[in-house]
Structure 1
Amino acid sequence: MNFSILISLYYKENPKFLDQCFESIWDSQMTKPTEIVLVLDGPIGEELTACVQKWQSKIGSPLKVVPLPQNVGLGKALNEGLKQCSYNWVFRMDTDDICTSDRFEKQIKFIEQNPNVVLFGGQILEFDQNISDADVLKAVPTTYEQIKKFAQNRCPFNHMTVAYKRDVILSLGGYQHHLFMEDYNLWLRVIGNDYQVANLPDVLLYARVGNGMHARRKGFQYIKSEKQLLDLKKQLKIQSPFYANMYFIVRSTFRLMPANLLGKIYNTFLRKKVEKTE
């Protein structure tokens, strides 16, 4: 099956992380992608340019680089990349994450067995600096009904694991401006238009989450984004106005908490520690 990988690269990325990302989607992958569309979201500097050129030389024509003259943000960059994807099935990936070696093989098999599904992802294990420390599971529901219910309160997909049909995403307007939540916004529009969605129960990716990233997701900018989310839920009738307003208040309250407390809540209640197997 032919499919495209869609990646957006920003100048602040660590070249070492980008290198590990490419290794996981090309060198270590049991089923290699037909095409990799790498959007350069503005100028990326000498070190990252050298890393990209190294992989262009190694991969050849399957790696399509799409440079943008200036930084436009993740959502707009991905929209530009979608226009350049040659195949209808598009798999997302972030530049600092690492795929499992069987990620694409598992997702292709799922596509072949579930022709009505237009969007699906999988589970991720989070790590700080070293992949050997990946022991925190960010779990998402797997069935259509579970995902619809989960989406009322939280983002139901791990964005960096998703695969979706390009034509469906473009027909819904692609990624739209929604500060910090472009992906959640898009998933709600897919679900709200009654398309079939799912998640695999398998871990498909190791996600880098160092430097207290989750604890920094606070402040009035995030509350404005929560209000936009509230309005979208009402518009799509994803959730009743009463519960939508209630969850807006709850989510906004979290955004005002001190960073250390928010981090503790996030790690205690929204993530699951898993035991390592030797």
Structure 2
Amino acid sequence: MISILMTVYKEPLKWVEKALDSISNQNIDEVLELVLVIDNPNYLYISDIKHIVQSSFDKNIIIVNDVNKGLVESLNIAFLHATGNYIARMDCDDISFLDRFNEELTFLKNNNLDFVASSIILISEEEHQLADLSFSGSLSGKYLNCVQGKQNQFWHPTWLMKRKVMKDLHGYRSIPSVEDYDFVLRALSNNFRLGLLGKATVKKRFNRLSISEMDNYRQSVYTQWLLEKYNSGKQADLKNLPVINKQKELRFYEVKKMLAIRKKMTMSSKVFLFVKMISNTEGRYILKSIFVQKYQIKGLNFIKKVLTKFKVRPSDAGY
């Protein structure tokens, strides 16, 4: 059985309905259990959601927090109630393809993995496609370590793992905006076998009011900090989180705003923007994110194909 952990805070009901519909109609023989935590006792649509869930899922658990507890604590609460031997994640504003769990579970079993994620298709709030981030094939082992050691590519709403992973890691740790990356790095450090499926299995909605979008600078700073600890072989101590510098944060969002209108800029303005980005840490965070997202997986996948063609073991080539 697959237990799907989902939280709701204040998302529009029509988004939640689409998310629930996309997982209740999955093309898979495995039994699905929805564990839903409503992290807002004043949410207007509690009764509507309860009705939808109870009529769509034979196995379901609905928990309404008495106060807002945040994503991390709500997900940990959901896991404590989950009974499946596999644990999956789903965001209430996203849409799963109907073969998602079948694709992911097959990928996990066929490759003897413990924890998998997939690529995504990014959509707007109105569900227009913004970007297809899928790629051919898959990544695991040293290829995946190379990716995750630069930036998180394990899209949170696509996760599927053996129960043991969540249990042994004691769930999520409370680190704002990057609890998912912290979880992935701890899974790698504890020698769990991870794999990234190149096929998109989820349409991820670009929600301008989501925590990750509204807290982008903190996310970048904490991501870099986690990476430094992971690459040095240490686990990040959450008692020593980096201090967020407000002046640098403003500079970060100034660059983001300029990037958003770059297509309308003159060539000289684009050159100025590029120089501005490479001249400070905040701009380099953004450049690195763009580069890794756009080129690293494609590059590694190409290397993988070449090594496979010439029957060279990844370890012999440094991967």
TM-score by length of 2: 0.70
Q: Which one-letter code corresponds to 1:6 in the other structure?
A: L
Rounded Cα–Cα distance in structure 1 between residues aligned with 2:183 and 2:39: 20
Q: Is the partner of 1:142 in helix, strand or coil?
A: strand
Q: How many residues of Structure 1 are paired with residues of Structure 2 in the alignment?
A: 253
Superposition deviation, residue 68 in structure 1: 1.8
Structure 1 residues 60, 217: closer, same or farther in 2, change over 3 A?
closer
Query: Do the aligned residues in 2 keep the contact of 1:215 with 1:260 (CA within 8 Å)?
Result: no
The alpha carbon displacement at 1:142 in A equals 2.0
1:82 corresponding residue in structure 2 = 79
Partner of 1:9: 8
Amino acid at match of 2:163: R
Q: Does 1:127 align with 2:123?
A: yes
What is the letter of the counterpart of residue 38 of structure 2? L
After TM superposition, the structure 1 = structure 2 runs for residues 107-146 of structure 1, keeping only pairs within 5 Å, are 107-115=104-112, 117-131=113-127, 133-139=128-134, 142-146=139-143
Q: Which residue of 1 aligns with 2:162?
A: 165
Gaps of 5+ in 2: 236-247, 263-285, 296-319
Q: Larger deviation: 36-45 or 199-208? A: 36-45
- Give me the whole-angstrom Cα distance separating, in 1, the residues matched to 2:106 and 2:216: 39
Q: What is the CA distance between 1:160 and its match in structure 2?
A: 0.3
1:25 aligns with one of 23, 35, 40: 23
On the 8 A contact 2:108/2:195 being kept in 1, the answer is no
Task: Tell me whether 82-91 or 31-40 shows the greater mean CA deviation.
Answer: 31-40
On the 8 A contact 1:178/1:228 being kept in 2, the answer is no
Using the TM superposition, give the Cα deviation of residue 136 of structure 1 relative to its aligned residue in structure 2, in angstroms: 0.2
Letter in 2 for 1:125: I
SS in 1 for 2:114: strand
- 2:149 pairs with 1:152: yes
Provide, for residues 245-278 of structure 1, a one-character-per-residue CA deviation record: whole Å limited to 9, x for no partner.
Answer: xxxxxx9998465331355668965359xxxxxx
User: Residue 215 of structure 1 contacts residue 262 of structure 1 at CA under 8 Å; is this kept in 2?
Assistant: no
2:197 is the alignment partner of 1:200: yes
SS of the residue corresponding to residue 63 of structure 2 reads strand
The 2-side partners of 1:3 and 1:135 are apart by 30
Larger Rg over CA atoms:
2
Structure 2 SS opposite 1:45: coil
Which of 19, 24, 49 does residue 46 from structure 2 map onto? 49
2:103 matches 1:106: yes
Maintained 8 Å contact 1:5/1:33: no
The question of whether the paired residues in 1 share the 8 Å contact of 2:24 and 2:57 is answered with: no
SS of residue paired to 2:230: helix
The amino acid that maps onto 2:199 is D
| Counterpart selection for 2:34 from 36, 57, 63 | 36
Q: 1:258 & 1:15 partners in 2: Cα distance?
A: 34
1:232 Cα deviation from its structure 2 partner:
3.5
**Does structure 2 retain, via aligned residues, the 8 Å contact 1:90–1:166?**
yes
The structure in which a higher percent of residues are helix is 2
Q: Deviations over 1:107-153 (max 9, x none)?
A: 222233233x111010100011333x224023586222121011122
Partner of 1:248: none
Structure 2 matches for 1:234-253, cutoff 5 A?
A: 236-237=233-234
Counterpart amino acid of residue 25 in structure 1: I
Measure the CA separation in 1 of the matches of 2:176 and 2:209. 19
Change in 2 beyond 3 A, CA 1:253/1:100: same
TM-superposition CA deviations, 1:4-36 (whole Å, max 9, x none): 1111111x2111100000111113x21274211
Task: State the SS of the aligned residue for 2:139.
Answer: coil
